[in-house]
Structure 1
Amino acid sequence: MLRAKMSIATLGGTLSMQRTTPGAGITPVLGGEALLASTPALKELADVHVESLSLLPSASMDFDFLLTVLSWAKRQVAQGAQGVVITQGTDTLEETATFFEYLWDLDQPLVLTGAMRGADQPGADGRANVLDACRVALSEDSAKRGVLVVMNAEIHQALTVRKTHSLALQAFASPNVGPAGMIIEHRVHFSRPAAARKTVPWPVRTTQKVALLEAVLSADTTLVEQLVPLGYEGLVIAGFGAGHVSEQWSTVLEPIAAQMPIIVSTRCGAGSTASDTYGFKGGEIDLINKGLHMGGCLCPRKARILLWLLIGSDSAHELSRFV
């Protein structure tokens, strides 16, 4: 019987970090081969191909780099990988997962994972997370589910997962829908069936700029007014409550919405924007009438990635399909 094939890419992050100097902070030093050597159980699961694509803290990655990683992942599937796992830092894990989800048009699973504790710390969680991610990537039930995030024995969907704690092991959650599944006694269990997905065409350019601004009490409009002169092509607002801004912002945003797409998401961390509840100036009805788009359950960070990809693929006119 042929053994399953899978590929792992390591990008850096806490999972790859340890101290190289006593008393100093941890930094990325461990590549793919070190991960494979420290986790012999991986070889029991499948024939594993591992590559170290970078040693970066995840905050230093950019969209161009992620496109190269995604191209690598697609090549692995073309060469026979049943699933692909990517390890990276958790600081931007939810954003990377979203970026990949909108572009991953294959049935094979792409699974992301990381660690909350450095490789040389007591109770380091990296190897267990990698093993769980590989189990998910190899599971037949993972097919057609797109991009998944596996952390702390939980399986999350890319568009719903968020990092909700800065340091705790249980740092990741899906506030609106909960985990899509769990790993129990090394076996993969999904709690709901795979759902239909929407992908975006591959971007034809990557120079577009999309701003993310947060609505806060008594905020001035200076930054908003400078977006068009500064060359921005899109805007996402982390709005109050169910997708609201101040009356002053509403006035300034109306002419800008005629020049670039604007998404208003909620800054609350859970819940959805409204569409026909609040009628005051700056409420969602007012903003929709002025040409702005409500983000629904999509958090502001994920909405920015969606808008960047749509603009870059000349598909901004299809924004209403996604929010």
Structure 2
Amino acid sequence: MSGQTHLPKLSIGSLGGTVSMQASANGCAVVPRLGCEELLANVPQLRELAQLEMATLGLLPSASLGFAALLDVLAWARVEVERGAQAVILTQGTDSLEETAYFLDLLWPFDAPIVMTGAMRAASQPGCDGPANLLAAVNVALAPGSRGRGVLVLMNDQVHSAARVRKTASLAMAAFESPGAGALGDVVEGVVVYRQPATRRQVLPLPQRTEHRVALLEACLDADTALLQAVATLGYEGLVIAGFGAGHVSGCWAQVLDMLVPALPVIVATRTGSGPTARATYGFAGAEIDLQGKGVHLAGQLCPRKCRILLWLLIGSGRQHLLQSLLPG
């Protein structure tokens, strides 16, 4: 035990998801069952690397997480770092991992990293990847090069930034990528190798309001405007559109946006999954030049789901006027 006192301190919180799932009584469907201590019991070598503080923060599939729960997780993580944790590790389901990581990253004020991980195979399935991902996440959390990088996502021995990572496959083991940018680094034989140094981060204040809502709609072929027209009347305070191609909508949608923009902030992103929105190429009605002229914000590299999170946090802190400056080109 005396050797333990010289090890760095890490705090690990589990939220549920596939990494915590086991087969139910009938032996088929998997559901969240394992708390944090049970997860760590499958990786005994972790205790040789760090002093571990453990907390089961939830047992939910990640599609059922919400902003309020994430603010509670953030508060827990802040306390852990203030009590001396060198880093925080969070395990959760992969379905919303790209969104929760970005939400927490926008609000995380410390140099100490948060490392998020999960699994594509349940704990009761052969070849489950949860233990390997958890061990690699600890390697990332302890690496000096991880400091100052905010929230990191570790999956399949690759380290991704919260702003760029996306789940790009539904069931494949290699389900996470950072389209257009690539992973920040890799874990090779327990050593974290980063491809570039940490860059300066901008941290947002905690939202003072949490009851507001931001809508997300997808542009698609021959879509009518009924839902688009209803956004403002239903009480939404912001709108994100996953647009065609380089950030385009139909001519009839553009007409509705002309009326919506004075009432609420609107972002148009690309639904393609990779690449930025354009700025000055297309001039038809509903293209980027037309939309910018109407006061629509173009998302640049930020995906539609993360645009919604950014806009929700800015509205909650009364800083929506900063939106354009925070959208990556």
Aligned position for 1:37: 41
Aligned position for 1:79: 83
* 2:207 aligned counterpart, secondary structure: coil
Q: Which moved more, 1:73-82 or 1:195-204?
A: 195-204
1:256 maps onto 2:256 in alignment: no
* 2:130 corresponds to which of 126, 132, 137: 126
Give structure 1 stretches of 5+ with no counterpart: none
What amino acid does structure 2 have at the position aligned with 1:121? Q
Alpha-carbon distance in 1 for matches of 2:274, 2:42: 38
Aligned position for 2:21: 17
* 1:195 corresponds to which of 199, 224, 229: 199
* 1:217 corresponds to which of 215, 221, 229: 221
Deviation at 1:291, TM superposition (A): 0.5
What amino acid does structure 2 have at the position aligned with 1:78? E
Alpha-carbon distance in 1 for matches of 2:234, 2:156: 42
**Superposed counterparts of 1:145-224, under 5 Å:** 145-224=149-228
- TM-score w.r.t. the length of structure 2 is 0.97
Deviation at 1:2, TM superposition (A): 2.6
- Structure 1 stretches (4+) deviating beyond 2 angstroms? none
Q: Which moved more, 1:91-100 or 1:189-198?
A: 189-198
* 2:250 corresponds to which of 234, 246, 262: 246
Alpha-carbon distance in 1 for matches of 2:33, 2:27: 16
1:69 maps onto 2:77 in alignment: no
1:321 maps onto 2:325 in alignment: yes
Q: Deviations over 1:270-323 (max 9, x none)?
A: 000011111111000100010000000000001000001000111101101211
What amino acid does structure 2 have at the position aligned with 1:210? V
What amino acid does structure 1 have at the position aligned with 2:32? P
* 2:100 aligned counterpart, secondary structure: helix
Alpha-carbon distance in 1 for matches of 2:285, 2:205: 36
Deviation at 1:201, TM superposition (A): 1.1
Q: Which moved more, 1:193-202 or 1:231-240?
A: 193-202
What amino acid does structure 1 have at the position aligned with 2:30? I
Deviation at 1:61, TM superposition (A): 0.6
Query: What is the root-mean-square deviation in Å for CA atoms of aligned residues?
Result: 0.8
Deviation at 1:246, TM superposition (A): 0.3
Alpha-carbon distance in 2 for matches of 1:241, 1:96: 26
